[in-house]
Chains A and B, each alone.
Chain A
Amino acid sequence: MTDQNIFMAISAFLRSFLGPLLGNDLTDMVMYGAGLLGVIIFIFTNAVILVLMERKVAAFMQSRLGPNRVGPWGLLQTVADTLKLLVKEDYKPHKVDTWVWALGPALLFIPAIGAYAVIPFDYQAVPVDLNIGIFYFIAISSLSTLPFLMAGWGSNNKYSLIGGMRSVAQMISYEVPLIFSLIGVIMLVGSLQMSAIVEAQHRIWFVFLQPVAFVIYVIAATAETNRTPFDLVECEGEIIAGPFTEYSGMRWAMFFLAEYANLVAVSAIATTLFLGGWQPLPLPGALGDLMAFIPGWAWFAAKTYFMIFLFMWFRWTFPRFRVDQLMAFGWKVLIPLSLANILVTGVGIYLYRMAIGG
């Protein structure tokens, strides 16, 4: 485990540069601003990569041609897409509820960015290491239902409204198993602090101790981000594009930026809670030393992208659920299963303590 990493080096450099100029208080403020800017750049960079990656993965999964004309290997496809979105006409449909309609996509971005405040990107590289970290994440991500509903309601379109209503039903239902699946990990660690959760996986990743919770988390997170097979909010056969129907250009792009931001966030949380965060693969002997040589942020990025790839794999392999099946699956399968997981974890911890004579 290295005590020094790239984030700390950058932060120390900035501080040494700004400190004499601005004094302590202002430097702290500027550092917070720099952290926020870093997170926003991180989100946009990821979104740019993911727009391309989604199509490449789709092409790979379904053996068809992905983007391959714009630039080498189609790498500039995202640039072309962005340009197209920026120059599109920004129309406003007749009789929309103007403020609600216009604020929807903008507000959707706040919980998406806010969620990144507690994600530990590397050793001691957490924007804000709250001692209620994971609880904060749950609270802030519960807010992302409202903008969807605002977009659906404000658009003055019945399909959009149905989409908005479905997003409320779906996101609220699947939030319960999502939270319950995290409780197993929290019980093992005894802390809600993200850095403590990562430290606790020094020996063994929680995906091996909590496999059921991991599966429940992945399913519920897919539903929370409204991605296939749970994308009933926008499924084109039934309700066109749901809440996004009446948006164009940049407003429409905000929805997709937020979707990708959320996708990265839930993947990062899965990495932190189940895959050991920035910790290297715990292998014995020289192989372990070799693994520890790779920097923490690289481990974190690799694991996060593995999770993103998993979510994309789901999207292009599984057929879509029906709306009643979706609700029944959430309430009748996932919630009892996650409750059982909590019970088994509790009994397991009790037995373990008895075994080691505590």
Chain B
Amino acid sequence: MVNEWIYAGAFYGLAALTLLSAAGVVFLKDIVHSALLLAASFIGVAGIYVLLNADFLAAVQVLIYGGAVAILIAFGVMLTRRPHMKETNANNRWVVWGAFTAAFTFAICGWAIAFTQFKPIDATPAQVTAIDGIATQLLGDFVVPFEAAALLLTVALIGAIILAKGAKEA
């Protein structure tokens, strides 16, 4: 009983954190504030993964998305050349079209949710040792594609560095 209350409280707290900071990302005018709230939103999602017993996914979410926001801010600060940071998030002139698209998307999602027949499933909990499966799949059965992807990314990285430095220097 107590556990359920705590679980519900944690879920609503995290959901509020995620949604409110996501709204802040869109509505705030300062690009650094937006990026910081984006990090808060990502961490909220990671918290929801923890509530769903998906520890590995939560850690990946924090490591990859949460950590990357720092780089995003660094780029945001370096690339925006405005005298005041208060207006670095550009205004959109197509507010009406945006609102229309959002309402349309929302209507489709609502329609889909309302008319789907949700079936109750067997409540078997997810495997606690999911990470063992990930490890054997990634480093055993699919090790060659995994390595190929890694190599491809390295090549792309080196290519990007050469392009950025300029062909003459490289």
Which residues of A pack against B, CB within 8 Å?
A: 25-26, 29, 97, 100, 130-132, 135-136, 138-140, 142-143, 145-146, 149-150, 153, 161, 165, 168-169, 172, 175, 192
Q: Across the interface, name the chain A residue whose C-beta is closest to B39.
A: A146
B117 interface hit (Cβ, 8 Å): no
Identify which of A139, A161, A172 contacts B70 (C-beta below 8 A).
A172
Q: A135-B59, A153-B77, A165-B77 are in contact. List 10 more A-B contacts (CB 8 A).
A: A29-B2, A132-B56, A140-B62, A142-B63, A143-B43, A146-B66, A149-B73, A150-B36, A172-B71, A175-B67
Give chain A nearest CB distance to B53 CB in angstroms: 11
CB-defined contacts of B131 to chain A, threshold 8 Å: 131-132, 192
B51 interface hit (Cβ, 8 Å): no
Q: Which of A26, A138, A146 counts the most chain B CB atoms within 10 A?
A: A146
Give chain B nearest CB distance to A323 CB in angstroms: 15
CB-defined contacts of B55 to chain A, threshold 8 Å: 130-132, 136
A139-B73 contact given A25-B3, A132-B131, CB 8 Å threshold = no
Contact indicator B66/A149 (Cβ below 8 Å)? no
Which residues of B pack against A, CB within 8 Å?
A: 1-3, 6, 30, 32-33, 36, 39, 43, 55-56, 59-60, 62-63, 66-67, 69-71, 73-74, 77, 128-129, 131
A25-B2 contact given A131-B128, A132-B59, CB 8 Å threshold = yes
Contact indicator B63/A139 (Cβ below 8 Å)? yes
Contact indicator A165/B74 (Cβ below 8 Å)? yes
Give chain B nearest CB distance to A192 CB in angstroms: 7
Could you tell me the distance between the alpha carbons of A150 and B69 in the complex, rounded to whole angstroms?
12
A172-B36 contact given A139-B62, A153-B77, CB 8 Å threshold = no
Could you tell me the distance between the alpha carbons of A310 and B163 in the complex, rounded to whole angstroms?
42
Contact indicator B66/A168 (Cβ below 8 Å)? no
Could you tell me the distance between the alpha carbons of A143 and B11 in the complex, rounded to whole angstroms?
22
A100-B33 contact given A131-B128, A142-B66, A149-B70, CB 8 Å threshold = yes
Contact indicator B60/A139 (Cβ below 8 Å)? yes
Could you tell me the distance between the alpha carbons of A95 and B18 in the complex, rounded to whole angstroms?
29
Contact indicator A29/B63 (Cβ below 8 Å)? no
